[in-house]
Structure 1
Amino acid sequence: MLPYACAWIAKSKGFGKPRREGGFDNHDPRAWLSRLTDWQARANAAQANSFEALPFFIGAVIIAHQLAAQQAVLDILALLFVTLRVIYIAMYVAGLPTVRSAIWALALLVNVGILFLGWR
């Protein structure tokens, strides 16, 4: 659900306003999104990155399950990954690129840990 939360954040200033006044344009949403600036543009970029991170996370969790990883450890790592991604989004929208990149790297390492959790 994180990518959808990012999309809502990106579009939030345009809700309820007519298109002619800069409101969200559901007729041509991609063009409207491409004109966003500042925190709205960063929220839209966080949405794209969240969708990009999702397949690796899903794959890692499925592989860990198939390799009979310890469920409690898998749950903790999955929760840690999601928590780090929430922090990542907050740092992205806030415009803190160095902290954002560090959080991204930590989340990636947690995901790699999930991937190899069932390795024996």
Structure 2
Amino acid sequence: MSIAYWCILVAALIPYPIAMLAKAKAGYDNHAPREYLAKTDGYRKRANWAQFNAFEAFPAFAAAVIIAQLQHAPQSTIDMLAVAFIAFRILHASFYILDKATLRSTVWALGFSCVIALFVIAGTQ
């Protein structure tokens, strides 16, 4: 299995530790987690937002990798873009939690550019 395919798995798993961080507090209500998380503040609220964003970013990334693979784009390029996407998504979550808005937006754009690049290289094959 290619590095890029493993990156799909990693991207699918990224939201879960972020969600655990958002929920890690005495008094967490597992009977109504969304209601509980909506009432959080500070880094927990930002972690919740980061997990949502990670879930939102996943489908386009997974599709881009799979399509690039199916189109027989150069494997080394697919792998490099997939690894870069993962690095940018981890940085994105970190900057989100740390409330570094400009850095967060910058790495979000870089990660999204990896997805676009995957589609572009697939389209040129």
Tell whether the structures are fold-level matches, with TM greater than 0.5: yes
For 1:49, the aligned partner's letter is N
User: Residue in 2 aligned with 1:7?
Assistant: 19
User: Residue in 1 aligned with 2:108?
Assistant: 104
The unaligned stretches of length 5 or more in structure 2 are 1-12
- Higher normalized contact order (CA 8 Å, seq sep 6+, divided by chain length): 2
For 1:6, the aligned partner's letter is I
Distance 1:40 1:103 in 2: 20
For 1:35, the aligned partner's letter is K
Deviations 1:57-94 (A, max 9, x none): 01101110111011121111100000000000000000
Distance 1:116 1:60 in 2: 9
1:54 aligns with 2:66: no
Output the TM-score relative to the length of structure 2.
Answer: 0.86
Runs of at least 4 residues of structure 1 off by over 2 A?
none
User: Residue in 1 aligned with 2:5?
Assistant: none
- For the aligned residue pairs, the C-alpha RMSD in angstroms reads 0.9
The unaligned stretches of length 5 or more in structure 1 are 18-22
Quick check: which has more Rg, 1 or 2?
1
Output the TM-score relative to the length of structure 1.
Answer: 0.89
Identity %: 38
